[in-house]
Amino acid sequence: MKVYNTLTKRKEEFIPLEEGKVSMYVCGPTVYNLIHIGNARPMIVFDTVRRYLEYKGYEVNYVSNFTDVDDKIIKKASEEGVSAGEVAERYIAECKKDMAAMNVKPATTHPLATQEIPGMLDMISVLIEKGYAYAAEDGTVYYRTRNFKRYGKLSGKNIDDLEAGHRDIQVTGDLKEDPLDFVLWKPKKEGEPYWESPWCKGRPGWHIECSVMAKKYLGDEIDIHAGGEDLIFPHHENEIAQSEAANGTPFARYWLHNAFLNIDNKKMSKSLGNFFTVRDIAEKYDLQVLRFFMLSAHYRSPLNFSADLMDAAKNGLERIITTAENLRHLSENAAAAETAEGVRPHAEQADAASAETSDGPRRCQEQMDAVTGITDEEREFYVQTDVYVEKFEASMEDDFNTADAVSAVFELVKFCNTHADPSRSKAFLEALSARLTQLSDVLGIITEREEEILDAEIEQLIAERQAARKEKNFARADEIRDQLAAMGITLKDTREGVIWKRV
């Protein structure tokens, strides 16, 4: 499998540190607002990378932080007159809801910066001891950038050029030895959250949190470090300087960066005000559509957001889901063939279809040999689907080319539409269905439609509740209200009758 490594600027063979295992750190959002769909791009693409690695049989330890202390969070908290912790907690909960709706798997660990202060104090102390950091008079601790000889190796920046253009770099104070030095710990200002430290009451800089969380949850050296391309400099460059100086080992072997999600060819960002939140999109589309839209491009290509592309994604997704539903429907209705041994139970077949080895999933010829109850012609058809799985895998093996992987899924869909009909055996239909589901799962596409709660069903329950109330059967009326609440329906009793809405 080849991955493009920002560090070496070329595609490289992926070899994990430990056989069969992958350690992966993805920089997460700063939680002061609802996430926008630009923030959703790294979540979706790196979740898909993780899913593919798991499909190949790797055990993936996936860590993604929430930055829950930061100037923007503090500003928002003071505007609202609440604590910074309350703002962060609220938007972490909202972010997790968005992630679930986009079918982004929860990380193995989602560490919070505020819970990792002791580790940060330790790493800063080590950096000071080793001469890579110093405390200024006011208690600010700076990283001594020039002492780290490999500074610039990720972003390809030359330290002398940086020095010359240092005005572009955020200047945080006048107490630095050198304008290139960056903050590891800063003194608190009035009313800000703070922690005790040997240098001053204060809070950590942004870069140190990721170095510390990656070390704690994954180790000194990790396989993959990922994030949006705006993080290459200075964030990831600074993470390398901190981690490698403190730990004395190389930090991450493969650095993966997604390109921007743009609007009118400009980066979508909070500061430019040209953004849509994931919630905005959810009002118009199922968030599976957003996910599918993101995967329709290679993660290193800029992607321009437009209603047309979203509608195209919606149609494409619909084609896959319709075929998957059709296969399920046909196989449910198909009679199991009577043979001496009978057809193997569904669960066992699905297991066979998804069985994986570290060399990749088993090919279908092998699976099919074990399945009885299918005709020779069907066996032959099924073996033909290997081509699509191979194309899918070859695309993903080439630096996670999801755009081509999606094309392979469409080809499989077309094949299924041509070869699946009510005359086919249950075993054949189930095997095709398992195959389509398996590839869709790697992309994080759910092929089962959510059960739609029909308006009529709700109206019926409301009428029953009204009748129960008339009969003074309040226990039953409350029971129905609870049942509706569990379905996401709230009721409001008004003079004009009951008004209900979906929440």
| Number of neighbours of residue 248 by Cβ within 10 angstroms | 10
Compute the distance between CA of residue 105 and CA of residue 308 in angstroms, rounded to an integer: 28
From candidates 184, 208, 240, 261, binder to ligand AMP by CB under 6 A = 261
Question: CA 465 → CA 418, 456, 490, distances in Å?
Answer: 48, 14, 13
Q: Which residue, 73 or 317, is less far from ligand AMP as judged by CB? A: 73
Q: Which residue, 205 or 361, is less far from Zn ion as judged by CB? A: 205
Applying CB under 6 A, the site for ligand AMP has a residue count of 17
Amino acid identity at 168: D
CB of 118 to ligand AMP, least distance (A): 24
Tokens linked to 469: 């109330």
Compute the distance between CA of residue 35 and CA of residue 270 in angstroms, rounded to an integer: 9
Compute the distance between CA of residue 97 and CA of residue 94 in angstroms, rounded to an integer: 5
Please check whether residue 350 is in contact with residue 443, taking contact to mean a CB–CB distance below 8 angstroms. Answer: no
Amino acid identity at 35: I
Binding segment for Zn ion among 48-56, 81-89, 166-174, 204-212 (CB under 5 A)?
204-212
Site string for Zn ion, 292-331 (x = CB under 5 A): ----------------------------------------
Q: Which residue, 155 or 269, is less far from ligand AMP as judged by CB? A: 269
Instruction: Determine if 109 is a binding residue for ligand AMP (CB under 6 A).
Output: no
Helix (H, G, I), strand (E, B) or coil at 502: strand
Q: Which residue, 265 or 494, is less far from ligand AMP as judged by CB? A: 265
Q: Cis link prior to 361 (omega < 30° from 0)?
A: no
Compute the distance between CA of residue 323 and CA of residue 62 in angstroms, rounded to an integer: 32
Given Zn ion, ligand AMP, none, residue 210, with its beta carbon under 5 to 8 Å by kind, binds: Zn ion
Binding segment for Zn ion among 19-27, 55-63, 327-335, 351-359 (CB under 5 A)?
19-27
Q: Which residue, 268 or 287, is less far from ligand AMP as judged by CB? A: 268
Binding segment for ligand AMP among 94-102, 131-139, 227-235, 389-397 (CB under 6 A)?
227-235
Interacting residues with Zn ion between 208 and 267 (CB under 5 A):
210
Compute the distance between CA of residue 82 and CA of residue 321 in angstroms, rounded to an integer: 44
Instruction: Determine if 113 is a binding residue for Zn ion (CB under 5 A).
Output: no
Instruction: Determine if 278 is a binding residue for Zn ion (CB under 5 A).
Output: no
Compute the distance between CA of residue 431 and CA of residue 441 in angstroms, rounded to an integer: 15
Compute the distance between CA of residue 49 and CA of residue 26 in angstroms, rounded to an integer: 11
Which residue has its beta carbon closest to ligand AMP?
228
Instruction: Determine if 293 is a binding residue for ligand AMP (CB under 6 A).
Output: no
Q: Which residue, 276 or 415, is less far from ligand AMP as judged by CB? A: 276
On the CB side of 168, CA atoms within 13 Å amount to 7
Instruction: Determine if 287 is a binding residue for Zn ion (CB under 5 A).
Output: no
Please check whether residue 219 is in contact with residue 253, taking contact to mean a CB–CB distance below 8 angstroms. Answer: no
Site residues for ligand AMP per CB under 6 A:
27, 29-30, 38-39, 41-42, 227-228, 230-231, 258, 260-261, 267-269
Site residues for Zn ion per CB under 5 A:
27, 210
